[in-house]
Amino acid sequence: MSAMYKTIEARLQEAVRGVLPDADVSSVLVRPCADPKFGDYQSNALMGLAKARKLNPRQLATDVAARLNLTDLCERVEIAGAGFLNFHLKRAAVEAALSEAATSGNLFFEKSAHPRTVVVDFSSPNVAKSMHVGHIRSTILGDSLARTLRLLGHRVVTDNHIGDWGTQFGKLLVGWKQHLDPAALQADPIAEMERLYKLVNQLSEADPAVLETARQELVKLQRGDEENLRLWREMIALSQVQFDTVYGRLGVKFDVTLGESFYNSRLQDLVRELRDRNLAVESDGAIVVFFEDIPALKAHPALVQKSDGAANYTTTDLATLAYRLETWQPDEIVYVTDGRQQLHFQQIFAAFRKWQPAARMRLAHVWFGSILGEDGKPFKTRSGETIKLSDLLDEAQERALKTVTEKNPDLPEAERREIARVIGLGAVKYSDLLPNRQSDYVFSWDKMLALNGNTAPYLQYAYARIRSIFRKASLDSQTQDPTVRIRLEAPPEVALARHLLNFGVILEAVAEEYRPNFLCNYLYELAGHFTAFYENCPVLKAEAESRASRLALCDLTARVLRQGLEVLGIETLEQM
């Protein structure tokens, strides 16, 4: 069976075609009603179609409703307001959809009939530096979007565009050659590389000769000097070990890791082509792309080559786009970075459209706000240092371990530590994904680790609680009775069932608008509906038929919770 809203949507589009044969019905969509008193689903698309044709929207809605055949699914279809269509589902249709899901493994969503190829560019830490709290939003948000798109059947390529090139390497090479402490490098490579960079930076400010030496080392690296290339590769390899450790803890994987250096060989030809086609011109010795035809960018031309002949981020990002187009022919490329890069990506996308006008792929900059401390300022250590990501994850697990030990002191330590790992990491991820991504949010340990409220531990506990019902009944929810028929009797059962039906709509909205917070709120509401159901509807003590139906409803809720949390990159526990 198709997801319920998809079936209604398809029949609504068919009815619209019957009334308006020339209409583009791709915008005729069905979505859940915000308030259940108006129905289960609604569509406001007819008002837009009527306005474009100077028709009366209520009359158009009446004509379309007359052609709608939904007697098998809906009790009634109402015309409301200026032309809304409200769909009230039959309880029998809801029961049939849930019964089918309970026995088939289908969880109210469909794989896309038209899968897209999507490149997701996220995380992008810098070589020779610690991954810090500033990397967490890009990493977690990008991973969640990639997981959602994959679940919906799209082909996803995740690319970690690491910072492995640029002026900092001149200073690092000077530091490595003149001030390296081999024992410190072995003990903590990133800390030693950070020390070297800071040291040479300070020396450069005091002595122009040091800065000139760093510049010469960089030129040698860029020209392919063997020793400098060997040292540079060692810096990348040592950094990758740190990256892999952090990503391993977070459960984040990349299909490719192509750093900035990968595109070096393309940069000169790219600038030459832009000049030859008069898309870029010389300005004060630099090469620049002007955007006279784009009002928002008229005062913000894109620099593609500095006056000293060096390329920059813009050049590299254009070369990256071209490579991705050639290699994967994507329908969409998604960049997940902080909001400070909005102008940069507007320039990149505009310059790319001028350069490659035939490329039809969607380009999206998914930007996010900052993480603040409880004082409302950027989140840092007490001494004002940037917080290392590994330290943040350690603290999350330690705080979770303290809570687990207080609640379950008799559990073996290894078990307590594993529970704390899942809860701690889940709490950090969820607190990052829950706010509107474009907002700043305040980092609060107490809020994120709370067992009540809209938190990961609350949802993980809701899942574990449902699994405990099956343990009490000595049942395995994974082997559902294939003949089970869900019957909805009490209002809390009906509310839970209707919420479950909307899982697919929410997943599609997350993928379309790049907003995992939609899913966070859906799962929180699902846990709330389940609590109301469980408190008002006996499960294990119910009569045989009701018992089987309610157990199936419990199992469906657990499966949706687990799948939803998995899409957010959050693990679940059978017991907490």
* Extents of the domains making up the chain: 4-89, 425-567
Give the closest residue to 10 by CA, choosing from 25, 21, 22: 25
Asked if 232 and 177 count as a contact pair (C-beta separation under 8 A), the reply is no
Residue type at 489? E
- The pLDDT score that the predictor gives to residue 103 is 87
> Does residue 391 surpass a pLDDT of 60?
yes
pLDDT band at 378 (very low <50, low <70, confident <90, very high): confident
Nearest to 31 by CA among 526, 504, 524, 523: 504
More confident residue, 207 or 374: 207
pLDDT at 104: 85
Tell me the pLDDT of the chain averaged across its residues.
Answer: 93
Q: Are strands 362-368 and 371-372 parallel, antiparallel or unpaired?
A: unpaired
Q: What distances in angstroms separate CA 98 from CA 469, 470, 503, 542, 557, one per listed residue?
A: 19, 19, 12, 19, 11
Domain at 4-89, CATH homologous superfamily: Arginyl tRNA synthetase N-terminal domain (3.30.1360.70)
Closest CA relative to residue 29, chosen from 51, 44, 50, 39: 44
pLDDT, one tens digit per residue, over 44-56 is 999 999 999 999 9
Residue 308, pLDDT > 80, answer yes
Helices (H) and strands (E) in the chain, counts: 21, 13
Q: Looking at residues 446-470, what average pLDDT do you find?
A: 94
Is residue 383 pLDDT above 60, yes or no?
yes
Strands 281-283 and 41-43: unpaired
CA 51 to chain centre: 35
Q: 317: how many CB neighbours lie within 10 A of its CB?
A: 24
Which H or E element spans position 348?
helix 342-355
Q: Are 564 and 523 contacting, i.e. CB atoms less than 8 angstroms apart? A: yes
Q: Which residues fall within 8 angstroms of residue 534, CB to CB, at 6 or more apart?
A: 554
- Per-position DSSP letters for 30-67, written without gaps between them: -EE-SSGGG-SEEE-HHHHHHHHTT--HHHHHHHHHHH
* pLDDT recorded at residue 477: 55
* CATH code given to domain 425-567: 1.10.730.10
- pLDDT (0 to 100) of residue 480: 57
Examine the pLDDT at 337 and tell me if it is beyond 70. Answer: yes
Against a cut of 0.85, is the pTM above it?
yes
Q: Does the pLDDT of residue 524 top 50, yes or no? A: yes
Pairwise pLDDT comparison (500 vs 2), residue with the higher score: 500
454-462 mean pLDDT: 97
CA–CA gap between residue 24 and residue 33 (Å, rounded) = 23
Integer angstrom CA distances of residue 313 from 161, 274, 303, 320, 341? 12, 16, 9, 10, 11
Res. 2 pLDDT band, cuts 50 70 90: low
For the segment 217-235, the average pLDDT, to the nearest whole number, is 94
Rounded mean pLDDT of 214-230? 93
Q: What is the pLDDT of residue 479?
A: 53
Q: Which residues touch 566 (CB under 8 Å, ≥6 apart)? A: 147, 572
Average pLDDT over residues 310-322: 94
Strands 302-305 and 286-289: antiparallel
Give CA–CA dist 302/251, Å, rounded.
37
Does the pLDDT value for residue 1 go beyond 50?
A: no
**Class of residue 52 by CB neighbours under 10 A (exposed 0-12, middle 13-18, buried 19+):** exposed
CA 310 – CA 348 distance, rounded (Å)? 18
The answer on pLDDT for 559 being more than 70 is: yes
| 449-466: average pLDDT | 95
* pLDDT confidence tier of residue 374, bands split at 50, 70 and 90: confident
Nearest by Cα to 344 from 365, 330, 361, 325:
365
Residue 478 has pLDDT above 60, yes or no: no
Angle at 469 between CA 466 and CA 472, to 5 degrees: 155
Q: What is the mean pLDDT of residues 278-292?
A: 95
User: Which range has the top average pLDDT, 23-32, 120-129, 368-377?
Assistant: 120-129
For residues 454-493, b (16+ Cβ closer than 10 Å) or e, as one string? bbbbbbbbbbbbbbebbeeeeeebeebeeebebbbeeebb
Q: How confident is the model at residue 536 (pLDDT cuts 50, 70, 90)?
A: very high
* The residue to which tokens 């990348």 are assigned: 236
- pLDDT tens digits for 129-143? 999 988 999 999 999
Q: Quick one: which H or E segment has residue 214?
A: helix 208-222
